[in-house]
Amino acid sequence: MDPIDVQAAGGGIAQQPADCLVVELAEDARRLTGVAAQVDTALRGAIAAMLRDGLITGRAGEVVSVPTGGRVPAKRVVVHGTGKDARTIDQLRRQAGNLARALRGLNAGRVALSTEAATDRLDPEDAARALTEGFALGLYRFDRHHTRAEDRPRGAVSALTLVEPAPRKLAAVRRGVEVGRVLADATNLTRDLANEPANLMTPTIVAERAQAVAAAGGLECTIIERAEAERLGMGSYLSVANGSSQPPKFIVLRYRGGGRTRPLGLVGKGITFDTGGISLKPGAGMERMKGDMTGAAAVIGAMQAIAALAPAVNVLAVAPCTENMPSGSATKPGDVVYAMDGQSIEVLNTDAEGRLVLADGLAYARRQGCAALVDVATLTGAMSIALGNVRIGTFANNDRLYQDLERAAAACGERLWRMPLDAEYGELIKSDVADIKNTAGPAAGSITAAKFLERFVGDTPWAHLDIAGVMDSTSDTGVLVKGNTGAPVRTLVHLALARARA
Ligand code: BES
Ligand code: MN
Ligand code: ZN
């Protein structure tokens, strides 16, 4: 999907060269003030009359279209209701997503939106960023495989201009638009990669897409092929690839902005399709497993944004990619494999493959000297049992890192919840025949998976984001649209920005 063009502008909104002007109105506003009053004057009282007649109420989410009859350059004015209470940044972002889709339904074309109401009580930069993200994320759609135009959603919002009436706030609004655009584009890139069906997003294609991101953003990109992975001793990662005829690709991206400091390491699970392997999954709903490379897609998306925002920090992104397939050459339950740090693993269930690829991903990143490690993985179905699709289950061996992540998530409307790593849970993955086994019983499935990963980070500060619950959305709501959510790209980027400031 083409990213929507978002700009900031100062001055009055009435004369903006746009097809649609959007002004915001709170519920119970008895009369129009500020920009709404100016636009109303240009329309000779048309909005005030509708307000008086109860045709406009200002209820949260209300979208009322008022024809301008040629009194301003735009063909229509949309009055957007913001509700009774003052909005938080998160509510603003979500409302913007819903508004954007409503405007598309109206075929609004080029939209100019007054930021007066949004920047009135909220920080202008944060508000502009939230509005930009809301529009660009809310308008996302994955429709490239509909070959017939009538099967694609109709209507268009082709451009958005945020019009800030207060000159002293304009610079902040411009910054917010700039950063919001970068973050939304990165999130939508992740959505594109993860929504693509597995036959069209093989490990080879993920690697090509990572190389393209690197070339465009000035990142270093190395693809570790199977032979090199064998030399490095990545037996755990490679054991997952055994059943597939697609060559595995271990993707490494580097952003250098922090001189000689140790990098932040981002590690993303890149299973381009998870059949379960010999421990085959049931057929119903298996197509969802095309999204099992969302972690890899998220670290690639985050690196695109980090390259664009250029923080003073070094970041290393690692994405071990492979399919998990059953075949005559596939790994079998009971097989013992060796990770690159020498630890032996009894593979009791080939469907617990994410931790196997992450073991070598984390070990590799650690060997590269990362100061901190954050992995992102659609790791366990148990995670969505525990937290549903609202919060990202987050494990950390380091309080500082967890707090930094929580702050980063709060800055962008993503939500984390800390999960435990007590030593007792580690007892459950002890193996009779190897150092550890890749599955324990049904109890605490997300935690035993995290305990498995913990074995590969040593004493490096590390956090693990199990995004299995938040990977996809079943409806269009707020910044989310049906399909992959692109979480937690924005949290990862904010974390990198914060580390550059520290
Ligand atoms: N990719 C799945 C987890 C998953 C399930 C992600 C649903 C998103 C939605 C993972 O590889 C897996 O199969 N996990 C198993 C682990 C079990 C075998 C210990 C699971 O959750 O059932
Ligand atoms: Mn699996
Ligand atoms: Zn998986």
- Per-residue pLDDT of 311-348, as tens digits, reads 999 999 999 999 999 999 999 999 999 999 999 999 99
- The CATH number of whichever domain residue 167 belongs to comes to 3.40.220.10
In order of 266, 279, 302, 319, the CA distances from 256 in angstroms are 14, 41, 14, 18
Separation between Cα atoms, residue 455 and residue 441, nearest integer Å: 18
Closest ligand to Cα 378: 1
3-7, 117-121, 286-290, 313-317: range with lowest mean pLDDT: 3-7
Which atom of ligand 1 has the smallest separation from the CA of 349?
A: 18
Q: Is 192 in the pocket of ligand 1 (CB under 6 A)?
A: no
Q: Is 292 in the pocket of ligand 1 (CB under 6 A)?
A: yes
Within 8 A by CB and 6+ apart from 430, the residues are: 436, 437
133 C-alpha to ligand 2 centroid (Å): 32
Go through the chain and tell me how many residues it has.
Answer: 502
* Matching residue, tokens 């150092």: 435
351 C-alpha to ligand 1 centroid (Å): 7
Report which of 160, 6, 129, 193 is spatially closest to residue 413, judged by C-alpha positions.
Answer: 129
295 C-alpha to ligand 3 centroid (Å): 10
- Any idea what the Cα angle at residue 121 is, between residues 118 and 125, rounded to 5°? 60
Give the pLDDT band (50/70/90) at residue 149: confident
The domain boundary, picked from 151, 185, 219, lies at 185
Strands 220-224 and 249-256: antiparallel
Within 8 A by CB and 6+ apart from 85, the residues are: none
223 plus 149 within the same structural domain? no
When the pLDDT of each residue in the chain is averaged and rounded to a whole number, the result is 97
Question: Is a pLDDT exceeding 90 seen at residue 154?
Answer: no
Residue 499 lies in a domain: no
Residue 273 lies in a domain: yes
294 plus 405 within the same structural domain? yes
Separation between Cα atoms, residue 56 and residue 51, nearest integer Å: 5
Report which of 173, 348, 205 is spatially closest to residue 272, judged by C-alpha positions.
Answer: 205
In order of 52, 295, 303, the CA distances from 486 in angstroms are 43, 9, 13
- Clarify whether 355 is annotated catalytic: yes
Question: Is a pLDDT exceeding 80 seen at residue 2?
Answer: no
Q: Is 472 in the pocket of ligand 1 (CB under 6 A)?
A: no
Q: Is 439 in the pocket of ligand 1 (CB under 6 A)?
A: yes
The domain boundary, picked from 156, 185, 214, lies at 185
339 plus 262 within the same structural domain? yes
179 plus 202 within the same structural domain? no
284 plus 207 within the same structural domain? yes
273 C-alpha to ligand 3 centroid (Å): 8
Question: Per-residue pLDDT tens for 400-449?
Answer: 999 999 999 999 999 999 999 999 999 999 999 999 999 999 999 999 99
149 plus 227 within the same structural domain? no
- The CATH number of whichever domain residue 444 belongs to comes to 3.40.630.10
Question: Is a pLDDT exceeding 90 seen at residue 68?
Answer: yes
Residue 149 lies in a domain: yes
CB 324 within 8 A of CB 246: no
Question: Is a pLDDT exceeding 90 seen at residue 229?
Answer: yes
Share of the chain above pLDDT 90, in %: 97
Residue 500 lies in a domain: no
In order of 128, 212, 325, the CA distances from 280 in angstroms are 47, 34, 9
- Helix, strand, coil % over all residues of the chain, rounded to 5: 40, 20, 40
Best mutation site among 279, 379, 425, 465 for ligand 1, i.e. most ligand atoms within 8 A of its Cβ?
379
Q: Is 353 in the pocket of ligand 1 (CB under 6 A)?
A: yes
228 plus 109 within the same structural domain? no
CB 184 within 8 A of CB 479: no
Q: Can you tell me the mean pLDDT for 260-280?
A: 99
150 plus 214 within the same structural domain? no
Residue 151: what pLDDT? Answer: 80
* φ/ψ (deg, to 5) at 319: -135, 95
202 plus 166 within the same structural domain? no
Question: Per-residue pLDDT tens for 167-223?
Answer: 999 999 999 999 999 999 999 999 999 999 999 999 999 999 999 999 999 999 999
Residue 191 lies in a domain: no
Q: pTM to 2 decimals?
A: 0.98
Containing structural domain, residue 369: 196-494
Q: Can you tell me the mean pLDDT for 467-496?
A: 98
Residue 462 lies in a domain: yes
Distance of CA 14 to the CA centre of its chain: 35
CB 187 within 8 A of CB 33: no
- Clarify whether 499 is annotated catalytic: no
Q: Can you tell me the mean pLDDT for 128-155?
A: 92
- Three-state DSSP state, 381: helix
Q: Is 440 in the pocket of ligand 1 (CB under 6 A)?
A: no
Instruction: Please name the amino acid found at residue 279.
Output: S
Catalytic residue, chosen from 174, 269, 355, 499, is 355
Neighbours of 466 (CB within 10 A): 31
69 plus 106 within the same structural domain? yes
Q: Is 7 in the pocket of ligand 1 (CB under 6 A)?
A: no
386 C-alpha to ligand 2 centroid (Å): 18
177 plus 206 within the same structural domain? no
Residue 150: what pLDDT? Answer: 82
Half-sphere CA count of 407, side-chain side, radius 13 A: 11
354 C-alpha to ligand 3 centroid (Å): 5
Which atom of ligand 1 has the smallest separation from the CA of 449?
A: 19
Best mutation site among 380, 438, 464 for ligand 1, i.e. most ligand atoms within 8 A of its Cβ?
380
Residue 3: what pLDDT? Answer: 80
Residue 190 lies in a domain: no
Residue 221 lies in a domain: yes
Number of domains in the chain: 2
Separation between Cα atoms, residue 469 and residue 135, nearest integer Å: 24
Within 8 A by CB and 6+ apart from 10, the residues are: 163, 164, 165, 167, 170
Give the pLDDT band (50/70/90) at residue 1: low
Catalytic residue, chosen from 75, 254, 281, 418, is 281
Residue 392: what pLDDT? Answer: 99
SS3 of 146-161: the string is CCCHHHCCCCCEEEEE
Q: Is 164 in the pocket of ligand 1 (CB under 6 A)?
A: no
345 plus 230 within the same structural domain? yes
The domain boundary, picked from 142, 160, 185, lies at 185
CB 306 within 8 A of CB 315: yes
Torsion, CA 71, CA 75, CA 76, CA 77, rounded to 10: -60
